[in-house]
């Protein structure tokens, strides 16, 4: 059984950032990847997806976007190429097509089982990120003949049968998928609960530029009042481009807006009557954010119109033939089902403190608001990797205390 000091699980941008910092500290390690480098970017994104962050925010330790469109937005395929180029440039010790099947604690570290043999390691970093989008249990109550598809399995409208589509979820994925399906000629109903509304641009700048400028993206996890809530909030209601696609824009296009899908009974979808409340709350938070930007910049910018709330139905007959398919854009989650270490809370969530798991030598990265709000994006992986590898080196004790400098991206 081969041995190494650290095993990194996942060769996406987060795992490779960890690898770069481990190498700088002379910590021998291996990166195990179930597919190719940037596997999720290649296999779990719909065809038209673009990053929510502008290209100038696409940066990793010692590596950054250097094209001629810094204010553009990379496609998923372009992100995969960017990450693959980073792996090659940093000569990361990646073992591709190697699926981790179990991680078990031992007296002196861990055994990492894979479909290509086992490894011994003193420490393990879980860097697979969020890779599953479980379909809610209520999907089992859909009437026969209605196709059901999770957002990570959606590629384009051609996968869906003709006829109406119910998209469940009003965050970034939901609004993008709903608009794309509507443009294909299919009637779309969008069911939404709590969401986070922001404009694509404000005061002639991308909204992410402002969040960076006012320091919001660098707010640390241990300074946030309710970190559990922050980590589970829906993603910003954005698309990768120059347009704002919010509920007003979708309604203008002819997309029907309804409340949160609360249940399916006797062939009828039941929607919450709280649509007006969640829309009002989203608008309130939007204006608070824009107040902060205005206070920083001085003066006042032009505000988006309040969200229009339609008289939406509370029931929808799914047996009438109006709805032929459902796309579940209800969020993605990490899959740690192969982790055989008692480090989970009663709800099955990994217990960690800014990525330092409640088990010596075990770490996790690539999760929303892991160590700061910026962690949600590619741009946050470098700082997270630096801090986690510093903790890992301290845990090991004998690692090089004077790492080689890793250039700022």
CATH label of the domain that carries residue 348: 3.50.50.60
The pLDDT of residue 133 is: 77
The pLDDT of residue 129 is: 83
Higher-pLDDT residue of 125 and 152 is 125
Q: How confident is the model at residue 113 (pLDDT cuts 50, 70, 90)?
A: very high
Q: Looking at 39-43, 82-86, 144-148, 184-188, which range is the least confident one?
A: 39-43
Rg (CA), the chain: 22
Q: How confident is the model at residue 400 (pLDDT cuts 50, 70, 90)?
A: low
Average pLDDT of 385-394?
Answer: 97
49 and 82 together in one domain: yes
Q: The domain spanning residue 147 has which CATH number?
A: 3.50.50
312 and 345 together in one domain: no
The pLDDT of residue 405 is: 66
Strand 109-114 to 100-106 pairing: antiparallel
177 and 321 together in one domain: yes
Q: Confirm if 61 and 409 have CB atoms less than 8 A apart.
A: yes
- Virtual torsion, Cα 380, 383, 386, 388, nearest 10 deg: -60
Q: Is it the case that residue 403 has pLDDT exceeding 70?
A: no
Please indicate, yes or no, if residue 351 is contained in any of the structural domains: yes
The pTM score is 0.93
121 and 207 together in one domain: no
Please indicate, yes or no, if residue 401 is contained in any of the structural domains: no
pLDDT tens, residue by residue, 270-323: 999 999 999 999 999 999 999 999 999 999 999 999 999 999 999 999 999 999
Please indicate, yes or no, if residue 407 is contained in any of the structural domains: no
50 and 157 together in one domain: no
Q: Is it the case that residue 339 has pLDDT exceeding 60?
A: yes
Please indicate, yes or no, if residue 285 is contained in any of the structural domains: yes
285 and 361 together in one domain: no
14 and 107 together in one domain: yes
159 and 256 together in one domain: yes
Please indicate, yes or no, if residue 408 is contained in any of the structural domains: no
pLDDT tens, residue by residue, 178-189: 999 999 999 999
The pLDDT of residue 408 is: 47
The pLDDT of residue 404 is: 65
Q: How confident is the model at residue 399 (pLDDT cuts 50, 70, 90)?
A: low
Across the chain, mean pLDDT equals 94
Average pLDDT of 255-262?
Answer: 97
Average pLDDT of 374-386?
Answer: 97
234 and 310 together in one domain: yes
Please indicate, yes or no, if residue 404 is contained in any of the structural domains: no
- Out of 306, 328, 350, a domain closes at 328
Average pLDDT of 251-268?
Answer: 97
Please indicate, yes or no, if residue 73 is contained in any of the structural domains: yes
- Out of 296, 328, 360, a domain closes at 328
Q: Is it the case that residue 386 has pLDDT exceeding 70?
A: yes
The pLDDT of residue 120 is: 98
pLDDT tens, residue by residue, 45-85: 889 999 999 999 999 999 999 999 999 999 999 999 999 99
150 and 231 together in one domain: yes
Token pair for 138 = 């209520």
115 and 141 together in one domain: no
Token pair for 161 = 């049968």
Q: Confirm if 313 and 346 have CB atoms less than 8 A apart.
A: no
Q: Confirm if 47 and 53 have CB atoms less than 8 A apart.
A: no
Higher-pLDDT residue of 104 and 45 is 104
372 and 246 together in one domain: no
pLDDT tens, residue by residue, 29-38: 999 999 999 9
Q: Which domain holds residue 116?
A: 3-132+332-396
Please indicate, yes or no, if residue 286 is contained in any of the structural domains: yes
Number of domains, the chain: 2
The pLDDT of residue 398 is: 56
């Amino acid at each position: 059984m081969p041995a190494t000091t650290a095993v990194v699980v996942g060769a996406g941008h987060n795992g490779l950032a960890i690898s770069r910092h481990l190498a700088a500290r002379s910590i021998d390690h291996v990166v195990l990847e179930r597919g190719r480098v940037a596997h999720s970017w290649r296999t779990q994104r719909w065809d038209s997806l673009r990053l929510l962050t502008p290209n100038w925010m696409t940066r990793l330790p010692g590596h950054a976007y250097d094209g001629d469109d810094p204010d553009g937005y990379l496609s998923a395929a372009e992100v995969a190429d960017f990450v693959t180029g980073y792996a090659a440039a940093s000569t990361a010790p990646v073992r591709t097509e190697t699926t981790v099947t179990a991680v078990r604690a031992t007296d002196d570290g861990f055994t990492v089982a894979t479909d290509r043999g086992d490894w011994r390691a003193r420490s393990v970093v879980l860097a697979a990120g969020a890779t599953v989008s479980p379909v809610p249990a209520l999907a089992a109550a859909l009437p026969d003949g209605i196709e059901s598809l999770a957002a990570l399995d959606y590629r384009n409208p051609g996968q869906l049968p003709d006829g109406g589509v119910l998209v469940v979820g009003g965050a970034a994925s939901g609004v993008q998928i709903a608009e794309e399906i509507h443009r294909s000629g299919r009637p779309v109903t969008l069911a939404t609960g709590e969401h986070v509304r922001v404009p694509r641009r404000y005061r002639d700048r991308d909204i992410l530029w402002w969040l960076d400028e006012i320091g919001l993206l660098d707010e640390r996890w241990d300074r946030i009042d309710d970190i559990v809530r922050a980590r589970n909030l829906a993603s910003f209601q954005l698309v990768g481009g120059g347009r704002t696609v919010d509920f007003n824009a979708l309604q203008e296009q002819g997309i029907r807006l309804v409340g949160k899908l609360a249940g399916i009974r006797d062939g009828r979808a039941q929607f919450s009557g709280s649509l007006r409340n969640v829309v009002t709350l989203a608008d309130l938070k939007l204006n608070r954010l824009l107040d902060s930007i205005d206070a920083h910049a001085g003066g006042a910018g032009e505000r988006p119109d309040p969200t229009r709330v339609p008289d939406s139905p509370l029931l929808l007959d799914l047996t009438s033939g109006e709805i032929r398919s459902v796309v579940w854009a209800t969020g993605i989650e990490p899959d740690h089902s192969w982790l055989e270490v008692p480090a989970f809370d009663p709800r099955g969530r990994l217990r960690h403190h800014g990525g330092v798991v409640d088990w010596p030598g075990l770490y996790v990265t690539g999760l929303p608001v892991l160590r700061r709000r910026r962690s949600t994006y590619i741009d946050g992986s470098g700082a997270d990797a630096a801090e986690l590898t510093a903790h890992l080196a301290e845990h090991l004790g004998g690692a090089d205390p004077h790492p080689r400098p890793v250039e700022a991206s």
